[in-house]
């Protein structure tokens, strides 16, 4: 019996690789199994680690800014491939996980630190930046990134603006003369795990800013800012699916640089060997921290489920929790197990406990199919 393990991360608890490894170790208790592990990511946190596992290069640690100006410097990591590609995540320097709940400030949060990481990579010879957009604490439409790369944002009176969400609606002019030619010549691939546009009811501010601490009034201020950005970049970019990802990062980057916006899951799955792993498979087990209505809309496990279903392979899911808007039967999942339902948050998020519960659930599922 061939079993494919294809876990995405359990955010804050365990990585894709850790979950796959723990589940594989648990299956050693059973005989006659051919177990194949496939790491999963979709442009969110953990994408760099998954992509780096298929590349030759080096992990680089660099000091940079966190999402808020008053924070101590952050030691962030990215992966520099031998072919000149740098794998970087917005979450590494500008991530929500870097901020305690009581200091979140989406109006002042900036992607400056991410831009400094990108600049560091280019100074080390990178000619292609692959940027995973998930997990940001920001809603600045890439103002911070572009300031770090040499751009200047001015209001109607010619005054310089600090690159953060509260400045978006004040932008009257963008000065790009300070962007070096080497940065203009670099190629940028933006990976997103959502398809939201920049503005509107399904846009960046109204959908994601509340998760980053924005009040209803701040959401409306940010929406006005995104409408100003939309006027600057044009409808083709503003309405592009995914342009609202990570606080609207794709908008200004696509307007000013050689950028390509891509869904993260297909990009990763074209490189992680999933198609080959499914050949001859009898069962696929996937999962992430939370199964919900978004899982089947561009998320890594949703892509696993879709690929398995197309080949008629049974697929089970092991997750932390299952939202009421996840339709297990309609999704094609034959079995869905939530291993952290009802547990206190500190217990549910404990890495060792998570790996143990996931391993036990996987073992029981495979025993049922044997």
User: For the residues of 259-273, what is the DSSP string, one character each?
Assistant: EEEEEHHHHHHTTS-
Domain stops at, among 245, 265, 285 = 265
| Residues forming beta bridges with residue 75, ordered by sequence position | 63
* CA gap 144, 344 in Å, rounded: 37
Looking at the structure, tell me whether residues 167 and 255 fall in a common domain. Answer: yes
| Residues forming beta bridges with residue 79, ordered by sequence position | 59, 87
Do residues 104 and 49 touch, judged by C-beta distance below 8 A?
no
Using the structure block, give the residue that is written with the tokens 């393990």: 5
Quote the tokens at residue 251.
């908008």
Residue 122 belongs to a domain with what CATH number? Answer: 3.90.1510.10
Domain stops at, among 265, 294, 319 = 265
Q: What pLDDT is stored for residue 14 in this prediction?
A: 94
| Residues forming beta bridges with residue 263, ordered by sequence position | 192
Q: What is the pLDDT along the chain (370 residues), one digit of tens a residue?
A: 999 999 999 988 999 999 999 999 999 999 999 999 999 999 988 899 999 999 999 999 999 999 999 888 999 999 999 999 999 999 999 999 999 888 999 999 999 999 999 999 999 999 999 999 999 999 999 999 999 999 999 999 999 999 999 999 999 999 999 999 999 999 999 999 899 999 999 999 999 999 999 999 999 999 999 999 999 999 999 999 999 999 999 999 999 999 999 999 999 999 999 999 999 999 999 999 998 888 887 789 999 999 999 999 999 999 999 988 888 778 889 999 999 998 999 999 999 999 999 999 999 999 988 7
Do residues 266 and 303 touch, judged by C-beta distance below 8 A?
yes
Residue 347 belongs to a domain with what CATH number? Answer: 3.40.50.10350
pTM of the model: 0.92
Looking at the structure, tell me whether residues 308 and 223 fall in a common domain. Answer: no
Number of domains in the chain: 2
Q: What pLDDT is stored for residue 331 in this prediction?
A: 83
Looking at the structure, tell me whether residues 219 and 284 fall in a common domain. Answer: no
The SS3 call for residue 284 is strand
Which burial class, exposed, middle or buried, applies to 28 when counting CB atoms under 10 A from its CB (0-12, 13-18, 19+)? exposed
Domain stops at, among 215, 230, 265 = 265
φ/ψ of 232, rounded to 5, equals: -75, -40
Q: What pLDDT is stored for residue 251 in this prediction?
A: 96
Looking at the structure, tell me whether residues 260 and 319 fall in a common domain. Answer: no
Q: What pLDDT is stored for residue 293 in this prediction?
A: 82
Looking at the structure, tell me whether residues 195 and 216 fall in a common domain. Answer: yes
Q: H-helix or E-strand containing 97?
A: none
Do residues 107 and 214 touch, judged by C-beta distance below 8 A?
yes
Looking at the structure, tell me whether residues 277 and 254 fall in a common domain. Answer: no
Looking at the structure, tell me whether residues 294 and 166 fall in a common domain. Answer: no
Distance of CA 60 to CAs 48, 78, 80, 133, 366, Å? 12, 5, 7, 19, 39
**Secondary structure (H, E, C), 193-251:** CCCCCCCCCCCHHHHHHHHHCCCHHHHHHHHHHHHHHHHHHCHHHHCCCCCCHHHHHHH
φ/ψ of 292, rounded to 5, equals: -150, -170
Q: What pLDDT is stored for residue 329 in this prediction?
A: 74
> Maximum Cα–Cα distance for the chain, whole Å?
73
Looking at the structure, tell me whether residues 355 and 256 fall in a common domain. Answer: no
Query: Which domain covers residue 342, as residue numbers?
Result: 2-40+273-369
Do residues 314 and 332 touch, judged by C-beta distance below 8 A?
no
């Amino acid at each position: 019996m061939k079993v494919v393990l294809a876990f995405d991360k359990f955010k804050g608890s365990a990585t894709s690789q850790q979950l796959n490894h723990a589940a594989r170790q648990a299956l050693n208790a059973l005989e006659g199994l051919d177990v194949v592990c496939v790491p999963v990511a979709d442009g969110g946190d953990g994408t760099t680690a998954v992509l780096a596992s298929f590349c030759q290069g080096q992990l680089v640690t660099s000091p940079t800014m966190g999402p808020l100006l008053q924070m101590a410097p952050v030691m962030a990591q990215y992966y520099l491939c031998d072919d000149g590609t740098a794998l970087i995540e917005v979450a590494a320097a500008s991530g929500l996980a870097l901020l305690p709940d009581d200091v979140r400030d989406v109006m002042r949060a900036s992607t400056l630190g991410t831009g400094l990481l990108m600049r560091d990579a280019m100074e080390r010879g990178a000619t292609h930046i692959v940027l995973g957009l998930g997990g940001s604490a920001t809603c600045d439409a890439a103002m911070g990134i572009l300031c770090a790369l040499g751009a200047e944002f001015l209001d109607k009176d010619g005054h310089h603006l600090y690159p953060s969400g509260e400045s978006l609606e004040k932008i009257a002019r963008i000065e790009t003369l300070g962007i070096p030619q080497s940065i203009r010549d670099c190629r940028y691939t933006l990976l997103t795990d959502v398809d939201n546009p920049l503005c509107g009811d399904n846009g960046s501010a109204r959908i994601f800013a509340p998760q980053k601490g924005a009040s209803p009034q701040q959401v409306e201020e940010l929406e006005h800012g995104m409408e100003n950005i939309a006027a600057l970049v044009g409808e083709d970019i503003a309405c592009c699916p995914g342009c609202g990802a990570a606080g609207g990062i794709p908008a200004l980057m696509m307007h000013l640089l050689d950028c390509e916006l891509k869904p993260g899951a297909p990009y990763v799955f074209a490189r992680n060997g999933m198609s080959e792993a499914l050949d001859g498979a009898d069962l696929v087990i996937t999962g992430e921290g939370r199964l919900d209505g978004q899982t089947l809309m561009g998320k890594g496990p949703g892509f696993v489920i879709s690929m398995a279903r197309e080949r008629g392979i049974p697929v089970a899911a092991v997750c932390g929790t299952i939202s009421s808007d996840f339709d297990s039967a309609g999704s094609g999942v034959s079995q869905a197990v939530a291993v952290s339902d009802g547990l206190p948050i500190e217990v549910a998020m404990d890495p060792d406990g998570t790996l143990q519960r996931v391993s036990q659930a996987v073992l029981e599922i495979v025993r049922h199919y044997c």
